[in-house]
């Protein structure tokens, strides 16, 4: 047996025998940050990723590749053609000169940090895996069904389909900025749906009329500094459970996308918003727009903060848009409701396989 397969076997053993450890970690209610606060120098084996998660290292000859940056101060036609090209080839782009003020972006990152860095006892009160209101904080949503844990804690804030959250339903340390940033990012999302509709040759309201933005979830990711970054991931490889995702990241970096079999860095640009196509947009466009796999490396430098906003659909059937189909381009996916798609995504956990595969015909 080669050394790599020995490691694989050991990994499987750890995974099958770790329920107690997973529970113990959950019951601390302090997340990954709690481990770091204890001053650990070795990370628990629960967080060890199998060697093949690291096998496709960034190819240094490919560093000339960077995802497109689209300047929203250009003409509408220029913007639409760049959005089309980026969505078809990269599935990712960065937007600069959008309408969200820089101070709102800075306040949102600070607000995220303030939440995770508040008094642990106060934060523990909010830790849960059962959603009862618009706000939910925990670590590793797939703690009990993922093969290897991610070095990340998160909170989510649901803006829709229910009424926007009331301030008193949100943590006091970040409620004002959550509501303020939420309003701005939803507006930018709507602009993007218009541009994407036009990029597909439709009228600007086409995607909005399909209810692609009925449910909106903001997710703040906190990636603590990691003492053994070569053994774990900040966030396991996945594609997004959304139509589109708008991401605000800080200056640290670590987000990478899988492009033509190479991991490409999504370089932090001050003031930019990263936009990516999610699984259900790939499904409705019958593979024209790409939901690209991505991951976040862990890092000895940290914490890193990011805030992702997922635009999702509702209780109706989504399938490849009829106008995009032809004899040469038959449907590649079966229809699904957004909640059936999400049920599959969450039940599967982050296991390195894209959730959209399950819906392929």
Applying CB under 5 A, the residues found at the interface with Ni ion are 240
**Distance between CA 313 and CA 311 in Å, rounded?**
7
Q: How many residues bind ligand OGA (CB under 6 A)?
A: 11
**Distance between CA 284 and CA 290 in Å, rounded?**
11
Nearer residue to Ni ion within complex by CB, 171 or 349 = 349
What character string, x for contact with ligand OGA (CB under 6 A) and - otherwise, covers 296-335?
x---------x-x---------------------------
Please tell me whether residue 235 binds ligand OGA under the rule CB under 6 A: yes
Please tell me whether residue 342 binds ligand OGA under the rule CB under 6 A: no
CA 77 to chain centre: 29
**Three-point CA angle 316, 322, 326, nearest 5°:** 150
Instruction: Provide, rounded to whole angstroms, the least separation between the CB of residue 255 and ligand OGA.
Output: 4
Please tell me whether residue 294 binds ligand OGA under the rule CB under 6 A: yes
Which of Ni ion, ligand OGA, none does 219 bind, CB closer than 5 to 8 A by kind?
ligand OGA
Residue in 94, 221, 236, 285 binding ligand OGA, rule: CB under 6 A: 221
**Distance between CA 67 and CA 276 in Å, rounded?**
11
Cβ atoms of residues 307 and 112 within 8 Å? yes
Classify residue 105 by burial, with Cβ atoms within 10 Å: 0-12, 13-18, 19+: buried
Instruction: Provide, rounded to whole angstroms, the least separation between the CB of residue 295 and ligand OGA.
Output: 8
Nearer residue to Ni ion within complex by CB, 240 or 279 = 240
Nearer residue to ligand OGA within complex by CB, 30 or 247 = 247
Scanning the chain, the segments in alpha helix (DSSP H) are 3-16, 19-28, 31-37, 76-89, 102-116, 120-124, 175-199, 206-209, 279-284, 338-348
Please tell me whether residue 249 binds ligand OGA under the rule CB under 6 A: yes
Classify residue 361 by burial, with Cβ atoms within 10 Å: 0-12, 13-18, 19+: exposed
Choose the binding region for ligand OGA from 18-26, 38-46, 186-194, 247-255 (rule: CB under 6 A).
247-255
Instruction: Provide, rounded to whole angstroms, the least separation between the CB of residue 257 and Ni ion.
Output: 10
Task: Please give the residue whose beta carbon sits closest to Ni ion in the complex.
Answer: 240
Q: List contacts with ligand OGA (CB under 6 A).
A: 219, 221, 235, 240, 247, 249, 255, 294, 296, 306, 308
């Amino acid at each position: 047996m080669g050394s790599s397969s020995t490691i694989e076997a050991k990994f499987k053993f750890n995974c099958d025998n770790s329920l107690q450890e997973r529970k113990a970690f959950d019951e601390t209610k302090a997340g990954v940050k709690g481990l770091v606060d204890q001053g650990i120098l070795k990370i628990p084996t629960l967080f060890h990723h199998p060697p093949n998660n690291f096998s496709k290292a960034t190819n240094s000859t490919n560093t000339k590749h960077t995802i497109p940056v689209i300047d929203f101060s250009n003409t509408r036609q220029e913007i639409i053609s760049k959005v089309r090209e980026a969505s078809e080839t990269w599935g990712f782009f960065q937007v600069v000169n959008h309408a969200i003020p820089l101070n709102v972006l800075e306040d949102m990152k600070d607000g995220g940090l303030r939440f995770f860095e508040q008094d642990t006892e106060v934060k523990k009160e909010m830790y849960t895996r059962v959603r009862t209101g618009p706000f939910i904080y925990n670590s590793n949503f797939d703690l009990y069904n993922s093969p290897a844990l991610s070095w990340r804690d998160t909170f989510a804030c649901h803006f829709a389909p229910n009424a926007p959250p009331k301030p008193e339903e949100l943590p006091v340390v970040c409620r004002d900025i959550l509501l303020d940033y939420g309003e701005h990012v939803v507006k930018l999302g709507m602009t993007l749906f218009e541009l994407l509709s036009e990029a597909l040759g439709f009228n600007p309201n086409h995607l909005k009329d399909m209810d692609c933005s009925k449910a909106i979830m903001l997710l703040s990711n906190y990636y603590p500094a990691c003492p053994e970054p070569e053994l774990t991931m900040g966030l396991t490889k996945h594609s997004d459970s959304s139509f589109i995702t708008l991401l605000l990241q800080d200056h640290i970096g670590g987000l990478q996308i899988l492009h033509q079999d190479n991991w490409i860095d999504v370089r932090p640009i001050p003031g930019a918003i990263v936009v990516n196509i999610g699984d259900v947009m790939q499904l409705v466009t019958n593979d024209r727009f790409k939901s690209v796999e991505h991951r976040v490396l862990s890092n000895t430098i940290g914490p890193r903060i990011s805030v992702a906003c997922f635009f999702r659909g509702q209780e109706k059937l989504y399938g490849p848009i009829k106008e995009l189909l032809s004899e040469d381009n038959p449907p590649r996916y079966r229809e699904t409701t957004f909640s059936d798609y999400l049920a599959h995504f969450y039940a599967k956990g982050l296991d390195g396989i894209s959730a959209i595969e399950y819906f392929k015909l």
